[in-house]
Amino acid sequence: MLVTGSGGPAWVAGLLGASLTAPHLLGPFVARSLDTARDGRTVIALACILHGATLAAAVLLYPYTWPAVTALLLVSSGLVGPLLTGGISSRLPAIAGPGQVDQRRAQGWDVATYGLGGTIGPALVAAVSSWADATVAALILAAGTFAAAAFVRLLPSAPPPAVGSGVPRPGRTLLLMICSGPLRRTLYLTMTIALSVAALPIAAVASTGRLGVDQAAAGVLIAAYGLGNLAGSAAVLLRPLRGDADRLMTRLAAAVAAALAGVALADGFVLTTAAYAAAGILNACFFAATLAARSEYAPPQARGQVFVWVGALKITAGSAGTALAGAVAAGPAQLPVVMALTLAVACAAASVLDRRAGRSRLAA
């Protein structure tokens, strides 16, 4: 909005958007400080301040400097973004205590904050931009991160899990995750489901012709998914998930795939809207299961890095899913969703085989 509102080309808008999101992939390489710091709250609070300051500087300087300068500021902002998501999520055990039910209820709250943030943020930008402009909207968002820095300091403190030498490096942490069956499944299930559901907004636009509705009705489908996500968040908050987190992820990944199949097969706008809502509900439950898995299977000395690794790769996979869906959107309307559900089914099945193979190795 900032670029197009000032008459800039669309490619610059895309470049600046990517400058903010792409650096999330580098988040794990700054996340080690969460596990080595004497007080992880300080790391997250400083990340909030840096995120807000660089975002504010980028939007204020955009009209007066080269786009490359704005892009570099946004890269700096995006680099600490994972500390504001996975970093805060990694604090849940300190907030909720050691009990599994209490932790999973807290994870329900966490899922709800993602849903609320993803809904309120764009709505706030749209509302502010209607009476002011995109610069003011972005500055309000930046001010929100400054406020968040103060609130982070109110979270319960937790001692560092290990001294600096006992905390693995980012590459070692990733290798540890790949070698651990539950964490490995957490990683690839999270990435695959993120890639799959990222196809839904593209599919919503592509399917309006098949459904015989105006293109504006795609917004209703996307809103149904968002409301379903909030409803699913409320459900896991009121009734926390029970059982083994590893198995829960597989079952809920299969459930998300079933909802995607409903989207692909639904005949009529009402049924399609219901399928989008179901996908949102089930994805929220799946997200809560992945938070439980990260919390319960991550080694204490690398908990922050595990949360950020999974979160960073999830965002990358979601971006890839959107790009892939856009690339095939010119074909049959259902093709993006069919591809998404095929990936989800294959990954859920792979996790079952992976778990059985692990049990066989232990038995041997």
What confidence tens digit (pLDDT) does each residue in 101-123 have? Answer: 888 888 888 888 887 887 788 78
Q: Rounded distance, CA 126 to CA 132, Å?
A: 10
| More confident of the two residues 173 and 21 | 173
Of the given ranges (207-216, 220-229, 237-246), which has the lowest mean pLDDT? 207-216
Polymer length of the chain: 364
Q: Please name the residue ranges forming H helices in the chain.
A: 2-5, 10-21, 28-36, 40-61, 67-79, 81-89, 92-96, 100-131, 134-152, 170-179, 181-197, 199-206, 208-211, 218-238, 245-265, 269-297, 303-328, 335-363
Share of the chain above pLDDT 70, in %: 98
- Position 185 confidence tier, pLDDT thresholds 50, 70, 90: very high
Which of the 8 DSSP states describes residue 244? -
- Report the C-alpha gap between 134 and 149 in whole angstroms: 23
Domains of the chain: 2-363 (1.20.1250.20)
Q: Which of 125-129, 222-226, 287-291 has the lowest mean pLDDT?
A: 125-129
Query: The tokens 């778990």 sit on which residue?
Result: 355
pLDDT at 35 over 70: yes
Query: Rounded to 5 degrees, what are φ and ψ at 214?
Result: -70, 155
- Residue 364: predicted pLDDT: 64
User: CB of 222 within 8 A of CB of 204?
Assistant: yes
CA atoms of 336 and 311, how far apart (whole Å): 23
Q: How far is CA 179 from CA 189, 305, 311, in A?
A: 15, 15, 18
* Integer Rg of the chain from CA: 21
Cα(12)–Cα(3) distance, rounded to whole angstroms? Answer: 7
Q: What mean pLDDT is predicted for residues 341-350?
A: 95
**pLDDT for the residue numbered 344:** 95
Question: What value does the mean pLDDT take over residues 292-299?
Answer: 90
Residue 174, CA distances (Å) to 114, 169, 215 in order: 24, 9, 43
pLDDT for 48: 94
Q: What is the mean pLDDT of residues 174-198?
A: 94
Q: Band the pLDDT of 59: cuts 50, 70, 90.
A: very high
Q: What is the pLDDT of residue 288?
A: 93
- pLDDT for position 47: 93
The overall average pLDDT reported for the chain is 87
Token duo for residue 101: 């039910």
pLDDT, tens digit, 9 for 90 and up, residues 141-177: 999 999 999 999 888 887 766 555 678 888 899 999 9
pLDDT at residue 164, as a whole number: 57
pLDDT for 332? 80
